[in-house]
Structure 1
Amino acid sequence: MAKKKNKKDADPKVHEDLKGFKMDINSFGEINSSFSIDKINEFLNKNVEDKKLKDRDDLDSEGSDKE
């Protein structure tokens, strides 16, 4: 019978901007991260579209020329 490969040892595939990102939860339930929350938020703002704000008319989206 073959042994199963331990998936925890392998590093996950991540975006190039997030190389070295590690996140752990300690015994008190606190989240520890290798990146600051500001750097994570900056990445998310740049790469993820906010579904709640997608259809709003009062916000100018990047690249649109409304007059």
Structure 2
Amino acid sequence: MTKKKKKNEDPKVHEDLDGFKMDINSFGEISSSFSIDKINEFLNKNVEDKKLKDRDDLDLKDKKKKG
């Protein structure tokens, strides 16, 4: 048997995303309680981009900034 989740329960989220809500209206448009810039800032800070992790040219830019 599967357990059904109540619709009124808020999902567990990272503390930086507290209050984040997303809705899809009848036309398929997505609305969010946070701006895209704030979401992107959170993702850039907390999620590693797998496509970019092995690029040598990005490592060189990081070393130049530090040294």
Give the TM interval when normalised to the shorter protein: 0.7 to 0.9
Q: Give, in angstroms, the shift of residue 60 of structure 1.
A: 2.2
With the length of structure 1 as denominator, give the TM-score of the two structures. 0.80
Q: Between the two proteins, what is the percent identity of the paired residues?
A: 84
One-letter code aligned to 2:43: L
For residue 6 of structure 1, report the CA deviation from its aligned partner: 4.3
Higher share of residues assigned helix: 2
Describe the superposition over 1:6-47 as per-residue Cα deviations: whole angstroms up to 9, x where unpaired: 421111000000000000000111000000000000000000
Amino acid corresponding to residue 46 of structure 2 in structure 1: N
> CA RMSD of the aligned region, Å?
2.4
Separation of aligned partners in 1, 2:63 and 2:9 = 42
1:1-67 matches, cutoff 5 A: 6-60=5-59
* Count of aligned positions: 62
